[in-house]
Amino acid sequence: MTKQPVIITMLFVSLIGGLLNSSASADGMVIDKVYHPYVQATEQELEFRAVIQDHQPIAPDNNQLYRFAYGRSLNDRWFAEVYLTGDRSDEVGFDLRAVEMELKWQLTEQGEYWADWGMLFEVSKAIDENIYEVASGIIAEKEFGNWSHTANFIVEQEWGNDIIDELESSLAVQSRYRYSQLFEPGIEFYKGQDTFAIGPVIMGELRWGMRQKLKWESAAIFGLDEKSPDLTLRLLFEYEF
């Protein structure tokens, strides 16, 4: 077991290097939920996510993405979630686009090593088009006092008759200050081929009963170059029970 964190760290460093030097980076909506590596046994959740981007050269104005999901833990290491994804913009109305399956794997116990580690796996199929996508990535989280720092490194492969086959990758980093259960301010950074952005995020959770809680996140992310959207707003609600 002593070799496990070393192996994971090597994968972590290799993926960073490949991400920063690769020309095949994500050209879709890179700005979205930042995943944490933890799984709780017997947990179930309902999730709603919205991402709204404006003024990006390669995309329609007011480009919007919505996700609706149900998830549950399979045990104390694996969490499965099924999504329905829809989008709209100023050019087209709302349309249900894809069905996605997601698996999160908690690799290490919290506090067991210098950082906490997990992996993410995704498979999606467009509803009205011949487009498929698979993705996998590494989740890392490290705590320093009241600060928590989280990184997601995701690699995706798209293929099908209605899309050009493409290998994509993305990086998302979140640093948050655990001020209280109800209020955690932070900052997020995103990197992809057509996204280079940073901005503030606030989050928190309400608890009641034995297991029920409502988590929320709201962020305003600003583009740092001319290819990125000028502003991206993201919103997330998770009801856990």
Closest C-alpha to 192, from 168, 166, 165, 226: 168
Tell me the per-residue pLDDT of 109-130, one tens digit each, with 9 for 90 and over.
999 999 999 999 999 999 999 9
**pTM score:** 0.86
**Distance between CA atoms of 95 and 166, rounded to whole angstroms?**
23
Q: How confident is the model at residue 28 (pLDDT cuts 50, 70, 90)?
A: low
Question: Cα separations (Å) of 145 from 141, 148, 154, 172, 179?
Answer: 13, 8, 27, 22, 11
Q: How confident is the model at residue 15 (pLDDT cuts 50, 70, 90)?
A: very low
Q: How confident is the model at residue 19 (pLDDT cuts 50, 70, 90)?
A: very low
Q: How confident is the model at residue 193 (pLDDT cuts 50, 70, 90)?
A: confident
What share of the chain in percent tops pLDDT 90? 78
Question: Cα separations (Å) of 134 from 126, 165, 167, 176, 229?
Answer: 12, 12, 10, 29, 25
Dihedral angle, C-alpha 21, 138, 162, 24, nearest 10 °: 0
Contact predicate 236/47, CB 8 Å: yes
**Domains recognised in the chain with CATH numbers:** 4-240 (2.40.160.40)
pLDDT at 11 exceeding the cut of 50: no
Tell me the per-residue pLDDT of 213-228, one tens digit each, with 9 for 90 and over.
999 999 999 999 988 9
